[in-house]
Structure 1
Amino acid sequence: MNNVSQHLLSGALSGFASTIILQPFDLLKTRIQQPDHLRKLSHSPLSPQSTFIFRTARNIVQRDGFLGLWRGTSPSLLRNVPGVALYFTGLSQFRSFLATSPYFTPLRASSPSQSTSTLPKLTAQGNLLAGAFTRVTVGLLLNPFSVIKARYESSYYSYGSLPQAFIGLIRSGPSEIFRGAIASSLRDAPYAGIFVVFYEHIKTSLSSAMSAAPNSAVVAAVPFSLSTAVHSLSAASAGALATLATQPFDVLKTKMQVRSETKYRGLWSTVRAVWQQRGVAGFFDGSTLRMSRKIFSSAIGWAVYEGVLIAVRRPPRELD
């Protein structure tokens, strides 16, 4: 299996695992972000958003059963499996390209024996550029899938089948096919850039700390288990930081993709609408769900991705 095929396979498995496990987070996040006003329930010890989350989940289960929380899984898989595969593959290839430039190559690279990663090492600027460019490119290519995914998860659309949804979207023209693309790019570019920078920094720091620990001999005996733990913790931490920084753009993207009113047709008009309806708090609707989803998906996704690459490239005896 060649290098590109390895990254495509690892990315596809990563996207599949995280989507199947975490689809309820995406569904509830979309339901939280779609209305103009967050419903407030009186006499509740929880915040209005937390109460709305629980109430929404309960209503879905009562109406559609427990599996109703996985509504939209099919379009999510169509979006995320190729999307994650293309992202990880493109990220690796672009990082390899940037690694040929002295400007993006760190002066001191960790030795192969101390590294828990199979990916090229870059400076912070290189990681920022690679993450942002790759994420935005893949996002633009797959934006029609993102629109269908968001509309499947919302309660404003009722599709009989995926083909029907795609035919309806295509007939609507380019303006609908690329609805929310600008907001998605404004969210994805800083998210991916910030994520890769922090992920690589945290991963390097953890690897160095563990290799310098008194029980490093024990750690060295289980390199595969260690690398999985390092990748999961690093990705979860980076995902939390990047999510918090880009949450407002996620709200704007969802509004633009699921609402049909004129005020949600453009980026700035959507900003004004959210500000007038909810103020600053409106730009952080669904932040708890997105934060939780990103932490878990990052931990699962990057652990699966790098774990599969390590498993494919190492002899079987090293994985014991």
Structure 2
Amino acid sequence: MELTHPAIKAFMCGSFSGTCSTLLFQPLDLIKTRLQTLQSGMQPGSGRVGMVSVLLSVVRTEKLLGLWKGVSPSFARTIPGVGIYFSTYYSIKQHFFPDGSPGAVEAVMLGGGARMVAGVVMLPVTVIKTRFECGRYSYASVVGALRSVCQTEGPAALFSGLMATLLRDVPFSGIYVMFYSQAKASLPKEISSSPSAPLANFSCGILAGILASLITQPADVVKTHVQVKPQLRTAEAVRYIYMEQGLQGFFRGAVPRSLRRTLMASMAWTVYEQMMAHMGLKS
């Protein structure tokens, strides 16, 4: 396959956009993971432990760079993962929708299908990334962590939380692509073809990201617990969260996750579309 193949270009554009967004927003992901894995004994009854408390705690105990703990596995997951997502998305779209205009339902299937492929392929690195961020494991490197998990827990542990991950990522991407594509389609043509088009697209992405993040937040909390405590099954994690924290526990970390996922997705799609347009390809 030639390096000029459109799918290869989509992979490169996606990987670059993923690199930029991961570097910028990793602190939000770390704060989200810490919030979701707080022990019940550490939580005040009023639930006032929030983003600012966790942020200050991390900076105080792990210095400013501690906010980027887990950035190595984040890069290892996001750079190829976003590339796989966008190249799969582009290939499926070109095959089934050569005119480039899928409807709302088709957009859900398109985004969800692309995310399913990327999610399954990159799940082992996602597990390691979650463990780096939670602060309970002392891995020296991504490769060392992969080796340690395989030796002590077995290779199956690298696919812990598969169901919860798919229940989170597939709907998120499907819902995101649906809202994003519909919002873009509703923009006046004079805006879509103007120099301010990237800003308009970014705004559409913000709206789509907020809605998709809130809908899929409970699955993200369950996924985090299963990957940090691989002895838990998905159903057991749901029961554990409910018994320990009640219904509000399923929305712990919603603010930093919504901020991160929304900004990352908006930035990734904006950079991806601009790079594809620069290469003369329709995204």
TM-score range, shorter chain: over 0.9
- Partner AA of 1:138 in structure 2: A
Q: In the alignment, which of 41, 51, 72 is matched to residue 53 of structure 1?
A: 51
Report deviation, 1:233.
0.9
Q: Looking at CA atoms only, which structure, 1 or 2, has the larger radius of gyration?
A: 1
CA RMSD of aligned residues (A): 1.9
Report deviation, 1:227.
2.2
Tell me what 2:164 maps to: 183
Spell out the pairing of 1:249-260 with structure 2 (5 A cutoff). 249-260=219-230
Q: In the alignment, which of 181, 199, 216 is matched to residue 229 of structure 1?
A: 199
Q: In the alignment, which of 126, 131, 152 is matched to residue 151 of structure 1?
A: 131
**Superposed CA offset, 1:107-162 (max 9, x none):** xxxxxxxxxxxxx2211121111111110121011100000000000111111222
Report deviation, 1:4.
1.5
**SS class of match (1:243):** helix
Tell me what 2:22 maps to: 19
Matched, 1:266 2:233: yes
**Superposed CA offset, 1:205-263 (max 9, x none):** 12x2x52xxxx7xx85xx3x322112211111111111110000000000000125x4x
Measure, in 1, the Cα distance between the counterparts of 2:39 and 2:117: 30
Structure 2: runs of 5+ lacking an equivalent: none
Spell out the pairing of 1:294-313 with structure 2 (5 A cutoff). 294-313=261-280
Report deviation, 1:193.
0.9
Report deviation, 1:300.
1.1
Spell out the pairing of 1:209-228 with structure 2 (5 A cutoff). 211=190, 223=194, 225-228=195-198
How many residue pairs are counted as aligned between the two chains? Answer: 277
Measure, in 2, the Cα distance between the counterparts of 1:130 and 1:38: 43
**Superposed CA offset, 1:27-68 (max 9, x none):** 0000001134284458xxxx735x432122112112222111
Per mean C-alpha deviation after superposition, the further-off stretch among 142-151 and 162-171 is 162-171
Q: In the alignment, which of 154, 174, 194 is matched to residue 193 of structure 1?
A: 174
**SS class of match (2:186):** helix
Tell me what 2:36 maps to: 33
Matched, 1:132 2:112: yes
Tell me what 1:173 maps to: 154
Measure, in 2, the Cα distance between the counterparts of 1:200 and 1:163: 38
- Partner AA of 1:255 in structure 2: H
Contact residue 191 and residue 243 of structure 1 kept, 8 A: yes
Contact residue 98 and residue 126 of structure 1 kept, 8 A: no
Q: In the alignment, which of 83, 86, 89 is matched to residue 88 of structure 1?
A: 86
Measure, in 1, the Cα distance between the counterparts of 2:137 and 2:38: 13
Normalised TM-score (structure 2) = 0.92
- Partner AA of 1:247 in structure 2: Q
Measure, in 1, the Cα distance between the counterparts of 2:94 and 2:41: 45
